[in-house]
């Protein structure tokens, strides 16, 4: 037997039916000896990470899931990736560099903003991180490497510009390129004013994300050289008062931009659907030609999988009670005599958000197809349960939710 997603005959690794970072069960809901290490580690894991950090699921996960996969002492809260993320500070009127943390809490990175013509402001969530940045800015070297990330299709290159201190100011010098970013470089990121903002001011600034490298957000290399020159000349004036208060507000204005890969998003959800079928019906069922399109789409991104529109899928939302769980509904039908062929369809709702329905297979590929199967994922406890409609009704009632059966055969054909 080979991997269910590719012709490889191994080695195999354990594959979570639902991604571990989204609450997958490390115990009973694992596929063993059916998914190869290349598919699991090299293909699916990076795709899942992308979806969990830059997609609608990523935002919902950030607000609703308190921690990521259990990894002992390395267990961490969910995080997202956003190349542009601003906090609209009502006190200064500035758009400040920030990151959204677990529960949607805003963390303002330590930063120095230049407000023309001659004012510089220091901002941070806490005074300690601001003072650490100021201390590092006081030790700027006479030769700095400014690094810009450039992308050409799938290829990534780095443009390096060397800034030299001439005793009075930093002067841009020679330019080079590299396949990898050098350590200790100062990063250059563009000033990107958000379309969602109307009043906040976006200025050139230098900041640091977490314990990462120093970053300048400015119009170009010359603007960075001018900013760092002003900071070096006026460094003694950069002081954080001992009684400084943290930046916070109960209703923060956040401007966030993410780049989502919609194909990766669908491929991950389809892969979850195939995994669920492999777990419930056995790997022999998903190896049949009826599942070929779904398998190939999940693994290679080739072809397509039929998906109900958001409007058509709305009726399935009624099948899920309002609970802090993921809900999956699997419907497998057989071909009545003289009727349309049977099929396997999965409907998924993650974090109580949009409902997605995918047609995974056409044909009588599931033995003993009968009642719909409900799968409930407790993403806080990392526990997955299978339910019949009757047990699902009891489960909903035990958790204080109301649920009523719906006609799953109605609606779209």
Q: Taking the alpha carbons of 126, 96, 353, 28 in that order, is the dihedral positive or negative?
A: negative
Strand spans (E) along 46-123: 84-88, 95-100, 106-108, 111-115, 119-123
- Over residues 250-299, the pLDDT tens digits come to 667 888 888 899 999 999 999 999 999 999 999 999 999 999 999 999 99
What are the φ and ψ backbone dihedral angles of 203, each rounded to 5 degrees? -125, 165
Residue 351 scores a pLDDT above 50? yes
The token duo for 109 is: 């990175």
pLDDT of residue 126: 86
What residues have CB less than 8 Å from 162, skipping those under 6 apart? 143, 144, 145, 146, 172, 173, 174, 175, 176
Nearest one of 144, 254, 157, 164 to 206, comparing CA atoms: 144
For residue 165, with 0-12 CB atoms within 10 Å meaning exposed, 13-18 middle and 19 or more buried, which class applies? middle
Kindly indicate the confidence band of residue 122, based on its pLDDT and cuts at 50, 70 and 90. Answer: very high
pLDDT of residue 196: 81
Residue 40 scores a pLDDT above 80? yes
Kindly indicate the confidence band of residue 413, based on its pLDDT and cuts at 50, 70 and 90. Answer: very low
Kindly indicate the confidence band of residue 247, based on its pLDDT and cuts at 50, 70 and 90. Answer: low
Residue 185 scores a pLDDT above 90? yes
**Alpha helices per DSSP H over 15-102:** 37, 45-53, 56-64
pLDDT of residue 212: 83
Could you give the dihedral angle defined by the CA atoms of residues 353, 387, 293 and 48, in that order, rounded to the nearest 10 degrees?
50
CA 218, CA 229: separation in Å to the nearest integer? 13
> What global pTM score does this model have?
0.86
Residue 157 scores a pLDDT above 90? yes
**Alpha helices per DSSP H over 287-360:** 292-300, 310-317
Say if CB 102 and CB 62 are below 8 A apart: yes
The token duo for 39 is: 């598919």
Residue 152 scores a pLDDT above 90? no
């Amino acid at each position: 037997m080979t991997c269910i997603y590719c012709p490889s005959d191994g080695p195999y690794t354990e594959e979570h039916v639902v991604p571990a970072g989204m609450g997958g069960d490390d115990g009973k809901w694992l596929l063993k000896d059916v998914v190869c290490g290349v598919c699991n580690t090299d293909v699916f894991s990076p795709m899942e990470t992308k979806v969990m950090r830059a997609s609608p699921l990523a935002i919902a996960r950030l607000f609703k899931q308190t921690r990521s996969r259990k990894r002992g002492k390395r267990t961490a809260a969910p995080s997202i990736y956003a190349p542009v993320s601003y906090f609209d500070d009502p006190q200064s009127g500035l758009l400040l560099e920030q990151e959204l943390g677990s529960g949607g809490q805003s963390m303002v990175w330590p930063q120095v903003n230049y407000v023309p013509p001659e004012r510089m402001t220091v901002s941070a969530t806490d005074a300690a991180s601001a003072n650490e940045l100021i201390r590092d800015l006081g030790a700027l070297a006479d030769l700095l490497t400014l690094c810009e990330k450039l992308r050409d299709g799938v290829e990534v290159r780095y443009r390096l510009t060397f800034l030299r201190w001439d005793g009075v100011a930093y002067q841009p010098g020679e330019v080079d390129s590299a396949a990898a970013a050098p350590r200790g470089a100062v990063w250059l990121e563009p000033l990107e004013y958000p379309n969602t903002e109307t009043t906040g001011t976006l200025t050139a600034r230098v900041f640091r994300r977490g314990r990462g490298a120093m970053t300048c957000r400015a119009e170009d290399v010359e603007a960075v050289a001018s900013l760092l020159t002003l900071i070096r000349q006026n460094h003694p004036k950069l002081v954080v008062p001992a009684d400084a208060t943290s930046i916070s507000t109960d209703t923060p204005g956040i401007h966030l931009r993410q780049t989502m890969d919609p194909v990766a998003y669908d491929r991950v959800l389809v892969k979850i659907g195939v995994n669920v079928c492999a777990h419930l019906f056995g790997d022999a069922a998903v190896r049949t030609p009826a599942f070929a399109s779904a398998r190939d789409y999940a693994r290679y991104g080739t072809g397509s999988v039929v998906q109900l529109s958001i409007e058509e899928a709305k009726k399935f939302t009624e099948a899920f009670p309002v609970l802090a769980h993921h809900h999956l509904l699997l419907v497998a039908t057989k071909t009545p005599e003289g009727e349309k062929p049977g099929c396997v369809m999965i409907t998924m709702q993650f974090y109580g958000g949009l409902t997605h329905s995918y047609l995974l297979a056409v044909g009588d590929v599931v033995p003993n197809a009968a009642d719909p199967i409900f799968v409930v994922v407790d993403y806080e406890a990392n526990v997955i349960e299978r339910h019949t409609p009757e047990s699902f009704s009891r489960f909903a009632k035990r958790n204080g939710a109301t649920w009523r059966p719906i006609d799953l055969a109605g609606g779209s054909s």
